[in-house]
Structure 1
């Protein structure tokens, strides 16, 4: 999976990237009532413009991305001073209030995200094959504190084995996240021209891990 993802970015096969802020983020983020200065974790962030939108609301953003091409393309979208440093296996670039960690999300340790108070997943869960999604849900729960809120945007389509983006059913979302998060479905769209159905979820981290 790791090499396939890196190859997609090297070859520019990134049809999942939106050239605008995701409309569901704009519609639903403020309703979560995340404190204005809360730091937001964005796993598998790519070069998403959603991070700019969150930072413009006043949030510091910590994005984690495996592909260096994604990070460099994000930084090139805007002028502005870039500071770079290295920490515990991650190459880190900071531009304004957006901090991008280049490396494996599963190697991220809770000590490195101790200031995170909320999270946003637009294309992380659906980028992962079934065997990895349970590990992802548990790792996310380990990284964010109790009562941390987040937004999850997922997809469902007719070919469960095809991806990314992979199809993730409501039943699987419940199974993955309900042990450690409170879940509420905020919306479900109509099928698009590919037959993809997008759903949006609000999550809130429960107490101790189960």
Structure 2
């Protein structure tokens, strides 16, 4: 899976990339009431302009991406000086209040996530095959403190992928154990048969 992802970026096969912030992010993020200044985790971030939308609204962003090409393109297309350093097995690029960590999301651990208080997933869950999605949902939960909120955009489609189809039943099965899951909207079916679904998630606290 990782090799295929890296090959897509190397060959420029990135039809999943949007050249503007996602409308669902713009519509629904304010309703999450995430406090300004809260650092937002963006797993499998690519070079998403959603990160700049968040950063421009005073949300520091920590994006994690396997493809170095995506990170280099992102900072080249941005503004401001870039600081580079190595931390805990990741090569990190910092530009303003954006940090991009190059490496495997599953190697990012809770001690590296101390400042994170929110998350945004538009293309991470649906990029993963079924066998890996349970691992992803559990790992995300481990990184989020109680009360952390996030926005998830899932996708249904005909068989195939990536991106993979993840229906409402699977979203609940994956996230209900550790999050309060709220369905926000279903998008209109697209010409390619894709249909997006938007969810608000809040990390549950310890049972009392």
Mapping of residues 1-210 of structure 1, within 5 Å: 1-159=1-159, 162-208=160-206
State how far apart, in whole Å, the 2-side matches of 1:22 and 1:164 are.
19
Unaligned runs of 5+ in 2: none
RMSD, aligned CA: 0.8
Q: Give aligned pairs, total.
A: 207
> Using the alignment, how far apart are the partners of 1:79 and 1:108 within structure 2?
27
Deviation at 1:208, TM superposition (A): 3.5
Q: Runs of 4 or more off by more than 2 Å in structure 1?
A: none
Matches of 2:120 and 2:79, distance apart in 1 = 25
**C-alpha distance in 1 between matches for 2:134 and 2:16:** 22
TM value normalised by structure 1: 0.97
Give, in whole Å, the separation in 2 of the partners of 1:190 and 1:200: 12
Question: In structure 2, the residue corresponding to 1:152 is in which secondary structure?
Answer: strand
Q: Distance in 1 between matches of 2:180 and 2:190?
A: 28
Q: Deviations over 1:160-194 (max 9, x none)?
A: xx111100010000000000000001000121101
Q: Quick check: 70-79 or 132-141, which moved more?
A: 70-79
Q: Shift of residue 78 of structure 1?
A: 1.7
Matched residue of 1:53: which SS?
A: helix
Deviations 1:23-43 (A, max 9, x none): 000000000000011000000
The runs of 5 or more residues in structure 1 that have no matched partner are: none
CA distance in 1, matches of 2:206, 2:15: 38
Q: What TM-score comes out, normalization by structure 2 length?
A: 0.98
Give 1:158 deviation, angstroms.
2.1
